[in-house]
Amino acid sequence: MRIWKQLLASVIVLLVILGLWVFLVPSAGDSLIRMGVPGKAVALLRGAPSSPEAASDQTARGEPAEGAAPAAVRQRSGAGNGNGPRSTLVAVEPVVLGIVNDRLSAIGSGEAIQSVVVMPQATGTITEILVSSGQKVVRGQVLARLDNEEQLIEQEKAQVSLKSAVEKSASYKNLQSVARLDVLDAQIAEQSARLAVSTAEFNLKRRNILAPIDGIAGIVAINIGDNVTTQTSIVTLDDRSSILVDFWAPERFATAIQPGQPVEATSVARPGQVFKGLVQNIDNRIDAASRTMRIRAKVDNAQDQLRAGMSFGVAVRFAGETFPSVDPLAVQWDAEGSFVWQIKDAKSVKTRVRIVQRNPDSVLVDGALKEGDQVAIEGLQRVREGGAVRIAGASGPEVASQ
């Protein structure tokens, strides 16, 4: 087949394909017109109306007349559109104020305000136990006794010696024939006898094991008949009228926390109850390994609800610093760092911010924001610097027209 016949066949096939495309796809004619194809040619492919009535029916159906530009082209050129550039629909949320570092939370361990392990002051055998576990005792109360027969004998011997010395000293004073030196020796013997009596009474007293403080007795670790020494633990006494809670605070609170500051403590043994206390002592240095500082708080335990050794959740409140708070969705990132889209006069403004603190439902930032400013939280993909925006849910003539 000659070349001109091949070209003619190709043109016919192409026209058939274009006719089918225009006939089956309503927007195909508009696409051909935008590509520069004359409107009359498109009308021939589509099938021109045979009468003015058909043309009017075509117009009523919304189809363009012959040679008319499509609606999309007219809209793009701005004809018949008074709104100007299209605006981006966004959802906004006002900026509120939040406080950072306003609360210190830590885990602490409690101990009695005074705790003593009672040990005997002498060696011997336990003959009597006068205290039981959980009993409240007072200072000087006898908790247990050691065997004291030997000490009783020594006390009686000392008293006999004292009686003899006193009589001898008195008789020498009444006799004129006794030398002055003998009288002095008798007086010294009397004083020595008195000291011996005091020593015997002291040794006898030490056979009683006494409570050194007021407190609550723990488990008694001895039985009657046990031989004990000065290193044997008899019982532990805890004065738990107040509980000391030791906890560790991060380094950034080193200058914020002060003695006398209120403290709230909670215990797993008393769920739902909050115990009040005060900061009593602050360590003089920061631990180099953990970068924390040891704090000791004193919690009142007048109702005896707490025990030494309990774990406590400790909370200390501070004045803190105030920063703008925004929704986490509002914070965006680019090569220069974090920012938010601030909405001013229906336009978007990129405002640089610095993240201060992340919370579950908000982010505290440092930037040119104040309370009540509007920041975009949704529809951010199409927002551009200085671009027109519409606020979702807003009303008014301008929004209605858009």
More confident position, 99 or 394: 99
**Which pLDDT score is estimated for 54?**
40
Judged by DSSP in three states, 251 sits in helix
Summarised one tens digit per residue, pLDDT across range 105-127 is: 899 999 999 999 999 999 999 99
Q: Taking all residues of the chain, what is their mean pLDDT, rounded to a whole number?
A: 82
Share of the chain above pLDDT 90, in %: 49
Share of the chain above pLDDT 70, in %: 81
CB atoms inside a 10 Å sphere around CB 85: 7
* SS3 labels along 36-101: CCCHHHHHHHHCCCCCHHHHHHHHHCCCCCCCCCCHHHHHHHCCCCCCCCCCEEEEEEECEEEEEC
Q: Which domains does the chain have, with CATH numbers?
A: 3-77 (no CATH), 88-100+322-401 (2.40.420.20), 105-111+239-320 (2.40.30.170), 116-228 (2.40.50.100)
Residue 287 above 80 pLDDT?
A: yes
Residue 359 carries which DSSP code? -
Residue 232 above 90 pLDDT?
A: yes
Which candidate, 372, 370, 345, places its Cα nearest to that of 353?
Answer: 370
Which candidate, 206, 207, 199, 203, places its Cα nearest to that of 161?
Answer: 199
Summarised one tens digit per residue, pLDDT across range 340-351 is: 999 998 899 999
Cross-strand bridge partners of residue 321: 100
Summarised one tens digit per residue, pLDDT across range 59-115 is: 434 444 444 444 333 333 333 333 445 788 889 999 999 888 678 889 999 999 999
- Compute the average pLDDT of residues 138-162: 92
β-pairing, 235-250 with 136-137? unpaired
**Which pLDDT score is estimated for 64?**
46
**Which pLDDT score is estimated for 401?**
37
